[in-house]
């Protein structure tokens, strides 16, 4: 019987693209986290410059604008000594009517070694990965509502850093689950790494009903959702994505699902609070919590550079 191979892995089961966390074996997630750890020096949380991608060309293809995420990939690639090319896609040939695949074929012919792709359309990085030469690697930097795997991985790095063992944890993901590729990537990663209790918390309009089938506990009550949690992952309320009918108001949301010190007191005493950023103070999170002693939001950013370096260096070492 033939099994359709995971397009992210070569026939030796090695990672050649990072498109989604879904379906990646636990050993590969752990390889990425271990490699990231080796890039961070314990004492200083400082990443040193390494020659692992010297002479390689990394193209940042952001069809959907995100200066913050693009910057983290740019820094990660430069720390690995790669040449980084930022493409302002809105102004490029795609604007002249060239197809996505023609653009990719042309950039590949310019000797690209890696594409970091953000696209508003779910699946775009897959399409690209199917059409590149064997030595070219694709990293999904966020596609539609589908996946944001490097964010998921840096979240796992952060949890492991503070909690060590995944198999005893209760993790709550709070907010706009339905629009969140971060939530989706986190859930897959947490499940693969053996987290026994994953909760998604939010109003009915923002939490997909089918998550229960994935073994996730759906909570529409905030107190129930975060009570006893070891880890609380707050999601950004994407005002710009919503029609308006899904939510009464930002103030109303904060009252019900915003993370305040009072609500945080329901979680474990040593709970950590995470957020993919940028945070909306007073919307999904109170300033006292964002800046408080439970918050690990800024360490997430630091770990994110190391995790992206890890992913880039691992895929660059493998061929299709």
* Residue 99 interacting with a copy of itself (CB under 8 A): yes
Q: Interior CA angle at 232 toward 227 and 238, to 5°?
A: 120
Contact range with a copy of itself by CB under 8 A, out of 62-70, 161-169, 182-190, 241-249: 62-70
CA pseudo-torsion sign 90, 92, 94, 97: positive
* Residue 85 interacting with a copy of itself (CB under 8 A): yes
Contact range with a copy of itself by CB under 8 A, out of 26-34, 102-110, 124-132, 149-157: 102-110
* Residue 71 interacting with a copy of itself (CB under 8 A): yes
Q: Are 181 and 146 in contact (CB under 8 A)?
A: yes
What is the C-alpha separation between 32 and 15, in angstroms, rounded? Answer: 10
With respect to a copy of itself, which residue has the nearer C-beta, 12 or 48?
Answer: 48
Residues in 269-308 that interact with a copy of itself by CB under 8 A:
277-281, 298-302, 304-305
* Residue 109 interacting with a copy of itself (CB under 8 A): yes
* Residue 72 interacting with a copy of itself (CB under 8 A): yes
* Residue 51 interacting with a copy of itself (CB under 8 A): no
Q: What ranges make up the beta strands (E) of the chain?
A: 57-62, 83-87, 114-119, 137-143, 170-174, 197-201, 217-219, 231-234, 272-274
Within 8 A by CB and 6+ apart from 234, the residues are: 174, 175, 259, 273, 274, 275, 279, 284, 285
Contacting positions for a copy of itself (CB under 8 A): 46-49, 54-55, 57, 65, 67-68, 71-72, 74-75, 78-79, 83, 85, 87-89, 91-93, 96-99, 102-103, 105-111, 240, 277-281, 298-302, 304-305
């Amino acid at each position: 019987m033939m099994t359709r191979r995971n397009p992210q892995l070569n026939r030796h089961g090695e990672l050649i693209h990072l498109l989604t966390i879904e379906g990646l074996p636990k050993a590969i997630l752990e390889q990425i986290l271990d490699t990231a750890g080796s890039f961070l020096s314990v004492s200083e949380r400082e990443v040193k410059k390494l020659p692992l991608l010297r002479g390689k060309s990394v193209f940042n293809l952001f069809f959907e604008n995100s200066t913050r995420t693009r910057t983290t990939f740019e820094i990660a690639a430069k720390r690995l000594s790669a040449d980084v090319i930022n493409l302002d896609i809105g102004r490029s040939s795609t604007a002249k009517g060239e197809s996505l695949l023609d653009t990719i074929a042309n950039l590949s012919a310019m000797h690209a070694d890696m594409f970091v792709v953000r696209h508003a359309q779910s699946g775009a990085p897959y399409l690209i990965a199917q059409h590149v030469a064997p030595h070219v690697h694709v990293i999904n930097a966020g596609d539609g509502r589908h996946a944001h795997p490097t964010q998921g991985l840096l979240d796992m790095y952060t949890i492991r850093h503070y909690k060590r063992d995944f198999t005893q944890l209760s993790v709550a993901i709070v907010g706009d689950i339905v629009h969140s590729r971060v939530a989706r990537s986190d859930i897959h990663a947490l499940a693969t790494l053996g987290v026994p209790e994953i909760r998604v918390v939010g109003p009915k309009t923002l939490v997909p009903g089918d998550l229960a089938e994935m073994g996730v506990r759906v909570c529409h009550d905030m107190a129930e959702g975060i009570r006893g949690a070891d880890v609380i992952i707050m999601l950004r309320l994407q005002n710009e994505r919503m029609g308006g009918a899904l939510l009464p108001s930002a103030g109303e949301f904060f009252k019900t699902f915003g993370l305040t010190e009072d609500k945080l007191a329901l979680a474990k005493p040593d709970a950590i609070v995470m957020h993919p950023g940028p945070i909306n103070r007073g919307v999904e999170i109170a300033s006292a919590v964002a800046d408080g002693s439970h918050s690990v939001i800024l360490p997430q950013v630091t770990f994110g550079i190391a995790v992206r370096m890890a992913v880039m260096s691992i895929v660059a070492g493998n061929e299709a």
